[in-house]
Amino acid sequence: MMLDYAYWITQALLAAGALCAVYRVYRGPSVLDRVISVDVILIIVGSVMLADMAYNGHQDYIMFVVISAVIGFLGAVAIARYVVTGGTAPQDSAKEAEKQAAGIAWEPAPEPEIPASPFAPTEGSGAQTGSDEDESTSWFAALTKSGFRPQSENRTKGDDS
Amino acid sequence: MSPETLDAVLDGVAAVFMVIGGLMSLAAGLGLVRFPDLHTRMHAATKPQVLGLLMLVLSASIMWRSWEWAAVALLAWGLMILTAPVSAHVVGRAGYRTKHLRADLLTHDHLGRTVDRLSEEDSVRREITND
């Protein structure tokens, strides 16, 4: 039967694409690469559901596809906005940025604590995270500073750093 | 054309669309792995959103043989078309402003020339410079 072969070939291709996207999430040098890879994984999951619905002739998962189409872009937008505003802070001086990155890079913050509490334990390097960041979002700031070395020396006319 | 023949033809068309949709997703995955920087990966990553999802939506609509559910599936694809440029635009802008790009691979940097011309007048480029 032709449709059986098409169904299994399609699922294999989708699985291969999802594995490639997972590899890019694992290896991706910056958080933006990871964001677009996670977006691709979401679309591939929707595609798997669509293929399953087409093969088995039901409509059980169609609302997942519709809703993921509606709100699937919000995560990318939020993280991209945060990369823009959070990426400017460590450019004050490279040494300060290195100190911050060394301080907060691998510190896990398991549960968010109350941001405005003056009695919150600062747990060492959490106080070094910058003026406009509190401790509850330092793990996310460390995420946005991950890995990628921006090539800032190629076009130096507009920036004075 | 007899109904059996029509069913066979529609199943064949749906199967072809389904395999093409899978190939689009595989192309996106390979592009994510192989391409060198953020913006080229974004170029590859839009393929399953637009073409792959369209192919799978058409395949599902043909297999269902129902205009109502076909309308719902096409609504999902239309919403994807509406929202995919938003995330692509914002991620691309953030990547450009934080220089997540291989400037040696660019042939033309039109936006860079515009940003340079604007930043001579006043401090427009606040995302790069520090005020």
| Rounded Cα distance, B111 and A37, in Å | 25
Residue A98's pLDDT band (cuts 50, 70, 90): low
Average of per-residue pLDDT values in chain B: 83
pLDDT at res. A153: 44
Taking CA atoms, B104 is separated from A28, A155, B37, B101, in Å, by 19, 10, 11, 9
With contacts defined as CB-CB under 8 Å, which chain A residues touch B68? none
pLDDT at res. B31: 92
Taking CA atoms, A132 is separated from A3, A9, A52, in Å, by 57, 51, 47
| Rounded Cα distance, A18 and A98, in Å | 34
Cβ atoms of residues B36 and B102 within 8 Å:
yes
Q: Where are the domains of chain B?
A: 3-100, 101-131
Residue A123 scores a pLDDT above 50: no
| Rounded Cα distance, B75 and B7, in Å | 25
Residue B113 scores a pLDDT above 90: no
| Rounded Cα distance, B56 and A45, in Å | 12
| Rounded Cα distance, B79 and B72, in Å | 11
| Rounded Cα distance, B23 and B19, in Å | 6
Distance of CA A108 to the CA centre of its chain: 16
Residue A135 scores a pLDDT above 70: no
When scoring B24, B100, B126, B127 by the number of chain A Cβ atoms within 10 A, the one with the most, hence best to mutate, is B100
Cβ–Cβ gap B18/A84 under 8 Å: no
pLDDT tens for B25-65 read 999 999 999 988 888 888 888 878 888 999 999 999 999 98
Q: Does A160 touch chain B (CB under 8 A)?
A: yes
| Rounded Cα distance, A28 and A35, in Å | 9
Cβ–Cβ gap B18/A35 under 8 Å: no
DSSP state of B101: S
Cβ–Cβ gap B22/A70 under 8 Å: no
Cβ–Cβ gap B100/A6 under 8 Å: no
Cβ atoms of residues A149 and B38 within 8 Å:
no
pLDDT at res. A155: 45
| Rounded Cα distance, A7 and A11, in Å | 6
pLDDT at res. A85: 54
Instruction: List, as ranges, residues 38-67 from A with C-beta within 8 Å of B.
Output: 39-40, 43-44, 46-47, 50-51, 53-55, 57, 59, 62, 65-66
pLDDT tens for A8-29 read 999 999 999 999 999 999 887 7
Nearest to A39 by CA among B82, B21, B46: B46
